[in-house]
Structure 1
Amino acid sequence: MPLRHALDHHARQRPDALAVAISDTRLTYSALYDRLKRLHAALAALPLQTRPDLLLPEGARNFALSIGNHAQAPTLLATALATPHAVTLLDPHWPDALHQRVLAKLPPDALFCLSSQTGLIEAAKRLGIPAITVDTNAFETFLTAPEDIPFTDPRAIFMVGFTSGTTSEPKAFARARHSWRASLEASRLAFALTEQSHTFVPGPLSHGITLYALAETLELGAAFHALPKFDLAEAHRAMAHTRRIVAVPSLLGALCRDKPLEQIVEITTAGAKLDPALLEKARSFFPRARIHEYYGASELGFVSLNTHGRESSSAPAYSVGRPFPHVELSLRQNGQEVPQGEPGTIFVRGDLAIDGYLWGGRNSGFRREGPWATVGDVGKLNNDGSLSLLGREGGMVITAGHNVYPQEIETALAEIPGITGAAVLGVAHQSRGQELVAILNGDTPLDEIKSQLAIRLPRYKLPRHFYRLTDWPLTTSGKPDRGRLMSWLHKKDPRLVPAAA
């Protein structure tokens, strides 16, 4: 069902039910839907920018958003989800120069930002783009009398997102409404969601996993809880009113503090592999929760799912699960499927993927082969039908003539008791071409690590050097920042401590 219809239904049938809460700011479904109608009318009155790369329905506008988790963010994001208008999701942590390049490439009809973002405001002014600051009275002044929200074309674009992948310049992609409508239908069943699935999301609203959780929650008629910025005490207060958490693994681990929480019954996590130590920690801290760990990509949507119960999982814990509903998998090399157990590029076929990039990604990232789509991740299908990740095309390490995927070694390291984090990198070596280096978090003795790896991996896949690290650099999406780790290795940064035997 289109989200516009769902919100209209909730506003009529349960007008006083809580829709969104960010700290002290709370909106009922009636209040939220009224603000959507006012914002829709104000956007529709804006003059159109010249924008050949993004075609929108007649009367629709594209607005850029760079306000983090400000209290107005859910209203603006819900406007893109439920009205004909589209949103360009800018990362507030980007440098001014990158913001300026993106605005120039795809000029929005309006920019919503914070008054402190002076560089962004000046860039918009030079391009003739109206900038509305949401932390002043400018936002309330911008709103007009409410107008009914028209039908939203399922083929139309509702979001422009960005993914950096393996490059520093973000690649832009557009997502059509029909792909998320299909996703919502599939995830409602896969994650066992109901109108009582009140959801807490500790992460940034500009990230896909968080925005999708907002769409899921509002479609159900449940309450969506978020924070202006992460704070453990505030997070626990929010979780007291929810039954579900959606978070990347790093933030899920940060929530596992103090005493166990019995009221959480569903957890959804993605963005990085859930290592065994964190899985057990989450099971202990949320004893009644099922943990839905999915693998996917911004460009592909859902790919596979592994649901962890109290004592068992729907697929082996080392895997990323089995194909998500609506999705078919094919592991391919040179256009042909590879045998089971052999490494291949992961392709998906379904109705959840984008059509392509607006810009960037010519030599990396998303591509299609007929009806099949990939972002270049490499994996293998196990004997039980589950999928294991091995790395990414171009991320393979060639050492002494052997092809090695770092993800396979990281998975083996994560299975060793006491290891709570691991990254494996390939660095240049004069005679081997490349050699493997492991960076670890945990207090397991080095001799024990080496002996455990020797049981799990052939000799040529064993790292030559080991370093310990306690404070990991993370990307804005909560993943280990491999680029910075590689830089630290080259510079012999003292934060990387050689592991002693």
Structure 2
Amino acid sequence: MPLRNAIETHARQRPDALAVCISGTRLTYGALHKRIARLNTALAALPAQLRSGFALPETGRLFAYAAGNHPSAAPMLSTALATPHAVALLDPQWPDNLHQQMLSKLPPDAVFCLSSQTALIDAARHLGIPAIRVDTDEFAAFEGPADPLLWTQGSDIFMVGFTSGTTSRPKAFARARHSWRASLDASRWAFALTDKSHTFAPGPLAHGITLYAFAETLEMGASFHGLTRFDLGDAHRAMADTRRIVAVPTMLGALARGAAQDQIIEITTAGAKLDPGLLGRARKVFPKARIHEYYGASELGFVSLNTHGPQSSSAPANSVGHPFPHVSLSIRHNGEELPQGETGTIFVRGDLAIDGYLWGGRHSGFRREGPWATVGDLGRLNSDGSLSLLGREGGMVITAGHNVYPQEIETALSEIAGVEGAVVFGQLHPSRGQEVVAIVGGNALIEEIRAQLALRLPRYKLPRRFFRLDAWPLTSSGKVDRAALQNWLKEKDDRLVPLSA
């Protein structure tokens, strides 16, 4: 069912039921529906920017939202989900110049941000784009009359998301409504959702796992609980009013401490493999919960699912589970399907994958082969039909739920004066899935390296550990021997000198 219909139905039948609570700011379904109607009218009245290769309905507008988990996210994101408008989700952690690049590349009809984001406001106004500060009276003044909502079409775009790539500019992709309608049909059954599935999702709404949990919860008529910023005390207070948690393993690990939380009966997690220690701890703190661990990607949607009960799992614990409902899997190499048990590139077929990127992506892992799509992950199908994830083409790193390409960080490091070569790896980490490790040559001070990287990259892409070496190991062809470096890291070879600020 389209989310417009679902929210309208909940508002009519249970107007006083809680829809959203973000750090104490609450909206009932009746109030949320009115806010959506007012924002829909105001957005439709905006002049439309000229954009090539990106079409919306005549009354639809593209707005950028950069205010993170500010309470204004609830009505703004709901408006994109339920009306002909679309949202471009700008990560508030991006450096200023990256925000400016995105505004130039795909000009929105308005930008919604915080008053502290002065560089973003200046860039928008320079481009002739209205900038509405959601933490001031401008936001309430922007809203129009609550006119009736229009129907949305499945082929309409409702979201522009961004995914990391091999360049400093994120790649943008568009999501059509039909893909999430199909996803919601599948996940409702897979995650056992009902109108009592009151959900706590503490992560950033600019990221897929949290935004999708927001949509899931509203469709069911349950209440969504989030935080403007993560605080463990606030998180435990929010959990007391919920029955479900949606979080990447890093945050789940923070929540899975202390006394047992018997009220939690469902947990959904993704972004990194659950290690046995965290799974065991989560089972202890949430003894009545089923833990749904899924594997997917922004470009592909859901791929596979492993559900862990108190004593057993639906698939081998070291696998990423069986194919998600309505999804078919194929392990392929050079366009040919490989037999069961052989390692190759994981391709998926279903209604959930994007068609392609709005720009970039030429050297990314995402590609299509007929009806099949992949992000370049490597794996194999086991005898029970479960999927084992073995690595990534090109060495993509997944850290705390984020996709990070080492080449992007290496490029940023190479731009720093005094750095003479850089190699970046992902290493296994007990809570983050992987952590980013950088090896550098040259004489640049670690303080300068960290400061310069912070200007170029979001925080989640910054290496957590640095090493320096005097001479690079080389292959017979004269290239840096990455395999040797990985072995040195593993063996703690003294040729790699740890750097600390």
Identify which range, 272-281 or 11-20, moves more after superposition.
Answer: 272-281
For this pair of structures, how many residues does the alignment match? Answer: 437
Query: Which residue matches 1:482?
Result: none
Partners of 2:393 and 2:436 in 1: CA distance: 15
Q: Once the two structures are superposed, what CA deviation does each residue of 1:32-64 show, in whole Å capped at 9, x if it has no partner?
A: 000000000000000010011210011100000
1:273 to 2:273 alignment: yes
- Tell me which amino acid in the other structure corresponds to 2:346: I
Which of 438, 459, 466 aligns to 2:490? It is 466
Query: Which residue matches 1:473?
Result: none
Q: Once the two structures are superposed, what CA deviation does each residue of 1:79-108 show, in whole Å capped at 9, x if it has no partner?
A: 000111000000011111111111001000
1:430 to 2:474 alignment: yes
Partners of 1:144 and 1:434 in 2: CA distance: 58
User: Residues 426 and 2 (structure 1 numbering): CA distance in 2 closer, same or farther, change over 3 Å?
Assistant: same
Question: Displacement, 1:465?
Answer: 4.0
1:222 to 2:222 alignment: yes
- Indicate the SS of the match to 1:493: strand
RMSD across aligned positions (CA): 2.4
Partners of 1:359 and 1:15 in 2: CA distance: 42
User: Residues 425 and 108 (structure 1 numbering): CA distance in 2 closer, same or farther, change over 3 Å?
Assistant: closer
Query: Which residue matches 2:190?
Result: 190
Q: Once the two structures are superposed, what CA deviation does each residue of 1:403-437 show, in whole Å capped at 9, x if it has no partner?
A: xxx99x95xx97xxxx9966698986436943366
1:317 to 2:346 alignment: no
User: Residues 436 and 240 (structure 1 numbering): CA distance in 2 closer, same or farther, change over 3 Å?
Assistant: farther
- Tell me which amino acid in the other structure corresponds to 1:466: K
User: Residues 119 and 328 (structure 1 numbering): CA distance in 2 closer, same or farther, change over 3 Å?
Assistant: same
Query: Which residue matches 1:374?
Result: 374
Query: Which residue matches 2:404?
Result: none
Q: Once the two structures are superposed, what CA deviation does each residue of 1:117-164 show, in whole Å capped at 9, x if it has no partner?
A: 000000000100000000000000000111111000110100000000
1:363 to 2:363 alignment: yes
**Is the CA contact 1:259–1:285 (under 8 Å) kept in the aligned structure 2?**
yes
**Is the CA contact 1:248–1:270 (under 8 Å) kept in the aligned structure 2?**
yes
User: Residues 87 and 396 (structure 1 numbering): CA distance in 2 closer, same or farther, change over 3 Å?
Assistant: closer
Question: Displacement, 1:365?
Answer: 2.5
**Is the CA contact 1:293–1:305 (under 8 Å) kept in the aligned structure 2?**
yes
1:30 to 2:30 alignment: yes
**Is the CA contact 1:426–1:434 (under 8 Å) kept in the aligned structure 2?**
no
**Is the CA contact 1:275–1:420 (under 8 Å) kept in the aligned structure 2?**
no
Query: Which residue matches 1:452?
Result: none
- Indicate the SS of the match to 1:159: strand
Question: Displacement, 1:385?
Answer: 1.2
Identify which range, 364-373 or 26-35, moves more after superposition.
Answer: 364-373
- Tell me which amino acid in the other structure corresponds to 1:146: A
Query: Which residue matches 1:449?
Result: none
- Indicate the SS of the match to 1:329: strand
Query: Which residue matches 1:344?
Result: 344
Query: Which residue matches 1:445?
Result: none
Structure 1 unpaired stretches of 5+:
398-405, 439-462, 469-488, 497-501
Question: Displacement, 1:491?
Answer: 7.4
**Is the CA contact 2:294–2:320 (under 8 Å) kept in the aligned structure 1?**
yes
User: Residues 6 and 389 (structure 1 numbering): CA distance in 2 closer, same or farther, change over 3 Å?
Assistant: same
Query: Which residue matches 1:84?
Result: 84
Partners of 1:13 and 1:33 in 2: CA distance: 12
Query: Which residue matches 2:146?
Result: 146
Partners of 1:82 and 1:147 in 2: CA distance: 14
Query: Which residue matches 1:389?
Result: 389
Query: Which residue matches 2:353?
Result: 353
Partners of 1:102 and 1:396 in 2: CA distance: 23
Partners of 1:40 and 1:215 in 2: CA distance: 18
**Is the CA contact 2:250–2:432 (under 8 Å) kept in the aligned structure 1?**
no
1:492 to 2:474 alignment: no
Query: Which residue matches 1:285?
Result: 285
Query: Which residue matches 1:480?
Result: none
User: Residues 343 and 167 (structure 1 numbering): CA distance in 2 closer, same or farther, change over 3 Å?
Assistant: farther
**Is the CA contact 1:174–1:354 (under 8 Å) kept in the aligned structure 2?**
yes
User: Residues 421 and 20 (structure 1 numbering): CA distance in 2 closer, same or farther, change over 3 Å?
Assistant: closer
Query: How do residues 20-169 of structure 1 correspond to structure 2 at under 5 angstroms?
Result: 20-169=20-169
Partners of 1:4 and 1:100 in 2: CA distance: 32
User: Residues 228 and 424 (structure 1 numbering): CA distance in 2 closer, same or farther, change over 3 Å?
Assistant: closer
Partners of 1:212 and 1:421 in 2: CA distance: 21
User: Residues 132 and 425 (structure 1 numbering): CA distance in 2 closer, same or farther, change over 3 Å?
Assistant: closer
Partners of 2:88 and 2:396 in 1: CA distance: 33
Partners of 2:333 and 2:2 in 1: CA distance: 38
- Tell me which amino acid in the other structure corresponds to 2:341: G
- Indicate the SS of the match to 1:358: coil
**Is the CA contact 2:290–2:310 (under 8 Å) kept in the aligned structure 1?**
yes
Query: Which residue matches 1:262?
Result: 262
Partners of 1:111 and 1:87 in 2: CA distance: 10
Q: So what's the TM-score if we normalise by structure 1? A: 0.83
- Indicate the SS of the match to 2:482: strand
User: Residues 491 and 78 (structure 1 numbering): CA distance in 2 closer, same or farther, change over 3 Å?
Assistant: farther
